[in-house]
Amino acid sequence: MTTQVNDDVEQESSRVRTTPPPMYKVLLLNDDYTPMDFVVEVLQQLFYLTRGKATRIMLQVHTQGRGVCGVYTKDVAATKVEQVLQYAQAHQYPLQCVMEEN
């Protein structure tokens, strides 16, 4: 009898399909005051990007007004946004960071 119950539970659990959580883009926004080197530093320190990748994103922010730092689940994206804002404020720069659904 125990075997039958376990088989039923296993079959039921294999039928349940979960959908992946919605993902969010973390974006840096351009401003006229934050130095480019600081933006590269933020990308390297908080998003663990290589200097080359960080530089490419910084240039995208500079030329297009915004750049994607990464794509994360909602909680992780919100944490990254808060980290960027706190880091920029601690260094007295007005760098803005937002998230939007992917």
- Percent of residues in the chain assigned helix, strand, coil, to nearest 5: 55, 20, 25
- Confidence band, pLDDT 50/70/90 cuts, at residue 15: confident
Q: Show the tokens assigned to 32.
A: 């006229």
pLDDT of residue 16: 80
- Strand (E) positions, the chain? 23-29, 66-73, 96-101
Is CATH 3.30.1390.10 correct for 32-101?
A: yes
* Residue-averaged pLDDT of the chain: 91
Where do the structural domains in the chain lie, given as residue ranges?
Answer: 32-101
Quote the pLDDT of residue 8.
58
Structure tokens at 14: 């294999």
Over residues 60-70, mean pLDDT: 98
How far apart CA 97 and CA 27 sit, in angstroms, is 6
Q: What is the pTM of this model?
A: 0.82
Grade residue 77 by pLDDT with cuts at 50, 70 and 90.
very high
Question: What mean pLDDT is predicted for residues 55-74?
Answer: 98
Predicted local confidence at residue 85, as pLDDT: 98
Residue 78: phi and psi, rounded to 5, are: -60, -40
C-alpha 91 chain-centroid distance: 21
**Average pLDDT for 72-85:** 98
